[in-house]
Each structure stands twice: as structure tokens, then as C-alpha cells.
Amino acid sequence: MVKICCIGAGYVGGPTMAVIALKCPSIEVAVVDISVSRINAWNSDELPIYEPGLDEVVKQCRGKNLFFSTNVEKHVSEADIIFVSVNTPTKTRGLGAGKAADLTYWESAARMIADVSKSDKIVVEKSTVPVKTAEAIEKILSHNSKGIKYQILSNPEFLAEGTAIEDLFKPDRVLIGGRDTPGGQKAIHALRDVYAHWVPQDRIICTNLWSAELSKLAANAFLAQRISSVNAMSALCEATGANVTQVSHAVGRDTRIGPKFLNASVGFGGSCFQKDILNLVYICECNGLTEVANYWKQVIKVNDYQKSRFVNRVVSSMFNTVSGKKIAILGFAFKKDTGDTRETPAIDVCKGLLGDKANLSIYDPQVTMDQIQKDLSMNKFDWDHPIHLQPMSPTTVKQVSVAWDAYEAAKDAHGLCILTEWDEFRALDYQKIFNSLQKPAFVFDGRNIVDVKKLREIGFIVYSIGKPLDSWLKDIPAMA
Ligand code: NAD
Ligand code: UDX
């Protein structure tokens, strides 16, 4: 029986390995982590992450050929193939701080593999890493090898949260990069055989190591760039009376462009886009490619602009002050169908409003009060370091309360900000909400999910990203 071990039981390691176990009953899969609470949760009825379809997959395999354990060394030493799916956050200090990837967790995993291995291993980079990381890992392993042979493969993950199981069942492609040597090619075949249990051969792309590593950063940069492009257009739409939804539709009908990923929003969030683009920028700078670095930097700048533009709209619409006013925040996760708040635009928007002394009442169907408090009291880039996977920090932000539902959040508020596109927010009784709001009653839709016409008929003053402005808002001077 082939044995797989995955180091890192997070958003990628957990679902990816659960699907491998489901699709390959002949393979034994162990997922290991240094976080005891995470592993306990994976072994319980309350999985540590919310992901549609994940519970069913885990229930079918757990205890049969899928195991979650903190006994990292035992499972690593027994495995034939080791996936490394640890976090690769942005460095917070030292050389490259604020841009470069922090490979501390990756390096410590590699050193541990070298320490405990007693047989040849295929080591698979599942984490998103800077191009050429495989070379560094090879060096660590070969200098500590005790005669053991290691093959390093790059097999980046392209799943998106909220649709992870669907994406893993039917990936657009699986990418495997390896050395162009007999040993490298043999390792590529071994990993290809795993995926071939359910992924058609023509969707498995094999490349050299550096192409695979770089393709992951490139794919995320291209995706994020589409969102910044449409968000940049949304600002121009507001200035000119065009409607960004109509523009996106018209642009996306060009088959060369395509319709996906053209929804204007309050900004992209999530643990990947910003981190990976900053990493790409740093790699470009290190290679002397200043113009290329500046090109990609702009994607982040427009995203930051979009978030601050939204905050400015809220404050300027409400007579230029939200001090002491209750504002309801609907949605805190970075997108619907996940409880993940990493780099969610809601953090920047809430911090912006708190900076203007607003009182916030926040509701999200999947995010806890503890998580919201932690996110709003944490420094930029600190979120992806394991210490923050541990229980709450003692600081709480007093101007923030968390509501049980959207109606409670909205009661007596001056305005409503929609920051995540949860389906339930489309179906709310907005007349009921209007009745309980202070007047004039404002809705700021950061996800373009409300029926603007209907809400205006009810009596709301509505701002919806990139849509023709309410006459109320038109009279307010344009923002920087
Ligand atoms: P995560 O923080 O959810 O999980 C990482 C886990 O690794 C944590 O539970 C941590 O405790 C564990 N860990 C760290 N060092 C360890 C060690 N030495 N030994 C054992 N466990 C250790 O992160 P994630 O979202 O799963 O992302 C993991 C990697 O995958 C990152 O490089 C990320 O960029 C990439 N990625 C993420 C996504 C996504 O949607 N989240 C998608 C594609 C790729
Ligand atoms: C992303 C990539 O899609 C995935 O391939 C990669 O493996 C990890 O990073 P993820 O961050 O989980 O996945 O979600 P994604 O669906 O890409 O959304 C990212 C952010 O962009 C969210 O905040 C989302 O709301 C926003 N978004 C997405 C938009 O604002 N507009 C869009 O049209 C699409």
C-alpha cells in the first residue's frame, strides 16, 4: 500500500488529502500538524474549516484510509510521498519584510523530514512558494541525507475556498513539476498515478520544477489582476454614469476574455492573492526587473484604493462623519461559503470606519465573535503565523459588537454595509430593515447583490459599487 503523509492540516492540506483518500482507497493518507487543536477538530464532528461537501468526504474515509495526527515524525518516516502544505506567509521583519515569503515553516518541515526519514522519499511542494524553492529544499535534504534519496516535486494547489471540494473533484488542471532526470521523471509518474485515479490524463500537466512553481504565482496574479481591472473600471463607471455590471457583461462576452472573475467588489481578499503577488513583486525586484515588479504592484494598489474608496463613500455620504453612529456590517468572511477571514476586505473597511469612530454591529453566518475581535486587533501580515491559530488574544475592540442575524445588526443603525456576498443577504426583508434603521437610511453594497431599484423605492439611499449614483451621492464631491 502506498503511504502518503501531508504536513499541514489547513485549508489546503485537509480537503486535498481527504479527496485523495476518497478517490484512492488503496492509498493510506495521514495528515499531520503541530497544532493540537486543529488535529482534534479534524478528528471531531466540528471540522476546523467550513467548506461545502467536506464533512461528507471526511466522514467516508476517516479511520479507514484517512488519518489526522499530531505524530508528525512517525507518519513522515513511514510515508513514500510527503506533501508539504504548511503556511508560507509574508515576512513581517528582516530582509524582504512586507513582501518576501517567509519560508521558516517550510524549512523546519524539510529539516524534520531529513531527521526522521529512513527510506527514499518523494517530497511534494503543495504550499505556494517562491520560484526556486525546490532548489533550497533539495540542498537541505541532500546535505542531511544519510544516504537517503529524495525527489522534490512541485504540485501547486489551485482550489478556491468555498468550492474546494468541487475544484478538487474536477480540477481544470493538475500541475506537476519535476527534474528532467530519470529519478525526477519516475517521481512525476508516481504522483501522476495518484491523480490518475480520478483526473483525466489530458488535465495533468507535467513541466519542469521552475515552471510549476512560477505558474502558481502567475495564475493568482492574473486572477487578481482581472479583479483590480474591473474594480478600476467601477470607479470610472461611478464618475461617468456607466454601470459596471453591464460593462463586465459586454467585455466578458468576448470569448478571448471570458465572463468569469469580472465581478466588481469592495476588493479581493483571502490568504493568497495579496501574499502571492507581493512575493512575485519581490522575486522580480531581486532579479532586477523593476518595471515588471511595478506592474504587479499596481494590482495591490488598486485593491487598497478600492477598499479606502468604499470607506470614503460611507463616511462622506453620512454628512462626513460616522462618529458615534451605529453601522451594521453584513458579512465578514472574504467571500461567501467560507468562514475564512484572512485578508478579508472587511478588516480594512471596519478599521477605516473605526478610525472615524463608528460603532460597528457585525453579522456573518460563519465567523465567530472571537475571530472578528482577533482580526480587528491584529497587525497587517501577522494573521498567517501559527501563533494566531491558537486561542484568542486578550485585546478587544470596544466599538465592535457581533449580532446573531442581519436584522439584529441593523436595528437602530444609520447604515448597512454589505461586505460578503452570502446568498441569505439577497433574500433579506429590506422593508423590515428599513423600518428599523435611523433615517435617512443608507445601504452600501460592496458586492453588488441588492436590487438597487427596489431598495430605492423602499426609501433607502443606495450605493452599489460601479453603479450609477443615487442623486444624494452625486452632490457629494468625488473622492481622491
Ligand atoms: P493554513 O494556515 O490553513 O495551514 C497550514 C498548516 O500548517 C497550519 O495548520 C500550521 O499549524 C501547519 N504547520 C506549519 N508549520 C508546520 C510544521 N513544521 N509541521 C507541521 N505542521 C505545520 O494554510 P493553507 O491555507 O492551508 O495554505 C497552505 C499553503 O497552501 C500556503 O502556501 C498557501 O499559499 C497555499 N494555498 C492556499 C490556498 C487556499 O485557498 N487557502 C489555495 C492554494 C494554495
Ligand atoms: C484563489 C484562487 O482562485 C485559487 O485558484 C487559489 O488556489 C487560491 O486563491 P480563493 O482566494 O480561495 O482562491 O478565492 P477566489 O474565488 O479566488 O476569491 C478571491 C477574492 O476575490 C475574494 O475576496 C472574492 O470575493 C474576490 N473576487 C472574486 C471578486 O472580488 N470578484 C470576482 O469576480 C471574483
Note the pLDDT of residue 164: 98
* Atom of ligand 1 at shortest range from CA of 126: 30
* Atom of ligand 2 at shortest range from CA of 231: 30
Q: 159 in ligand 2 pocket by Cβ < 6 Å?
A: yes
Identify the DSSP state of 281: H
Q: Whose CA is nearest to atom 16 of ligand 2?
A: 160
Grid cell digits, residue 244 = 459596471
Q: 473 in ligand 1 pocket by Cβ < 6 Å?
A: no
The catalytic position among 5, 272, 350, 417 is: 272
Q: ipTM of the assembly?
A: 0.98
* Atom of ligand 2 at shortest range from CA of 276: 9
Identify the DSSP state of 365: T
Extract the residue ranges of the chain whose pLDDT is less than 50: 388, 390, 480
| Residue 85 CA, ligand 1 centroid: distance in Å | 5
CA of 111, nearest ligand number: 1
**Is 395 among the annotated ligand-binding positions?**
no
In this predicted model, what pLDDT tens digit does every residue of 270-321 receive, in sequence order? 999 999 999 999 999 999 999 999 999 999 999 999 999 999 999 999 999 9
Grid cell digits, residue 386 = 501559527
**Is 127 among the annotated ligand-binding positions?**
yes
Grid cell digits, residue 78 = 513511514
**Residues in Cβ contact with 59 at an 8 Å cutoff, skipping those fewer than 6 apart:** none
| Ligand 2 mutation target, pool 49, 278, 305, 334, most atoms within 8 A of CB | 334
| Residue 72 CA, ligand 1 centroid: distance in Å | 15
Amino acid sitting at position 33: D
Whether residue 272 lies in the annotated active site:
yes
Amino acid sitting at position 302: V
335 and 270 Cβ atoms separated by less than 8 Å: yes
Q: 433 in ligand 1 pocket by Cβ < 6 Å?
A: no
77 phi, psi to nearest 5 deg: -65, -30
Q: Based on C-alpha coordinates, what's the Rg of the chain? A: 24
| Residue 297 CA, ligand 1 centroid: distance in Å | 24
Strand order across the beta sheet in which 326-330 lies: 400-402, 359-363, 326-330, 415-418, 442-445, 461-464
Note the pLDDT of residue 387: 52
Chain-centre distance of CA 173, in angstroms?
Answer: 19
Note the pLDDT of residue 381: 72
> What pTM value is reported for the model?
0.96
Q: Is 207 helix (H, G, I), strand (E, B) or coil?
A: strand
* Atom of ligand 2 at shortest range from CA of 261: 33
Q: 21 in ligand 1 pocket by Cβ < 6 Å?
A: no
Note the pLDDT of residue 480: 45
Note the pLDDT of residue 394: 52
| Residue 341 CA, ligand 1 centroid: distance in Å | 15
Q: 33 in ligand 1 pocket by Cβ < 6 Å?
A: yes
Could you identify the residue written with the cell 523593476? 290
60 and 22 Cβ atoms separated by less than 8 Å: yes
Tell me the domains of the chain and their CATH numbers.
2-199 (3.40.50.720), 222-474 (3.40.50.720)
| Residue 268 CA, ligand 2 centroid: distance in Å | 7
Note the pLDDT of residue 361: 98
End-to-end CA distance of the chain: 62
